[in-house]
Structure 1
Amino acid sequence: MHGLQKKLAPNYVRTVFAHLSALLNAAVDDGVIPKNPCHAGSVKPPRAESKKITPWSVEQVKTVAGAVARRYEVMVQAAATLGLRQGEAFGLAVEDIDLAAGVLHVRRQVKMLNGRQMLFAPPKGGKVRDVPLPESLALRLSDHQLAFPPVEITLPWRMLEGPPHSAELIFTTRLHSLIDRTEFNRFVWKPTLIKAGIPTTRENGFHMLRHHFASVLLERGVSIKAVADFLGHADPGFTLRTYTHLMPSSEDRMRQVIEDAWATGRCALDVP
């Protein structure tokens, strides 16, 4: 295992270690070996390697939104300003927009099984949530629906054998059909990144719009608990671990607070 650690990435070695341990557990159960050496106190898998996310800037999001096919432009803007996952954006329906309350209800996603069969399901972890809806985005969504009328789509709910669930989807293909994740990523997203001059790496997937959303909120002082709620994370600790490097440092915030307070008027030390 030590030799592997010198040649391979820590996360890959951890996967190999887990598979090896599972095989040895089976050998113990079958009586082939007395105990699993992977459980010995002296044997430790490498620590998981955590990569720091570098979110897109507002300008990069605008560039991508401007480069994508027009029927998907508002979808990109919605994902970046509401923190939607890709499946949640695909499953966004007319009835999810609550103009009176100024919120968007995130209550379904389009889920793909076996790489080809699609169904409707609750958001990841069953975390239905409400996200404040900016007025500017509400207007864009209204304009989008005039240009590209919503389409009612019916899919099984939760499982392939589940009851039928219908939703008037806001974002559909040019054939007025459900957006297929694989086809969208290959024929829409990747060409858009190339057009926008952004590397077509895995890190620059649709999920980057969600990272952008989180980074903007944290940069402007929104609490980690609120960000976790808006993202639909069950554990704010996960949100903190993922985005802590994007939060303004206490030192920077302290300096700014003092600068702002003293810039409002003359300091007492200036009074003769």
Structure 2
Amino acid sequence: MTHLRVLAPSETVSQLSQLRKLADSSVAVDHNEPFGDQTWVELRAGNAWLVTTGEQELTGASAVVIPTDAEQPILVELVVAPEARGNGLGRALVDATQQLVIDHALDDQNMTAWTHGDHPAARGLATSIGLEPARILYRMALEIDRESFGEVKLNDAYTIRTFIPGEDDADWLALNATAFADHPEQGQLTQADLDARKAEDWFDPAGFFVAEDAAGTMVGFHWTKTPVGSAAGEVYAVGVHPSTQGTGLGKALTIRGMNHLASAGLEKIVLYVDDENRPAVNLYTSLGFGIENTDVMFSSNS
């Protein structure tokens, strides 16, 4: 019989090193991170529940973020160690997670769950508790086979410089909220979320580019990310103010960041983009990116 522990948000910090080891074992086999950046932020901040199996060595875990705002959806992400799969562990974690949500969620609060890689087993578990596919996220990739991806063709009205932590925080948060007003996650980032990312070992302002107009107003950005020890850099986020759309600023910022990653001796560049964001998918395809992986978000209110 599987022994499960349900840890309250205030208790999860003690398990994070073991959870990271479990996640790394999954990445080695699946080539996908089982937990998103925001989930790690919530775990470290003591805002997420954790359902685990095992004591010193975790064999499976489910991270559950239950916002106190009923309008915000519950977020669930789950991982089972590769060597422990096929024995009903995922089913046990899902059942315990579902009970946790029943006990602690607000009335009619929507639940979402990500399957990173769209594995059939994960899809089956999600649909078994009434969740349906609601969002498709592509991971696109491009091998780095050159020192530069071309000249940055920038409209004379704009200039590009690197982000200055602290000084640029407020302007960037305002621009990010505007550029991603319809995005369910990116557009809602707060100062605390930004601070948490700046505290990560991968954060490097030299790879965080912002564009300004002639008046010095921030109107676009390209934030790149290179996890420590990784051979792949990431187009972490690209956003432009709606007033600049059609000027080529987004493409110029994208190429500026790609050239930065190409100069870092990496093997490839990856990025994540929603299937419904066809202009972005088309842009990245035109730059040579191809779909490498598909993540699916399931929802109880699709």
- What TM-score, normalized to structure 1? 0.27
| Higher strand residue share | 2
Larger Rg: 1
- What TM-score, normalized to structure 2? 0.25
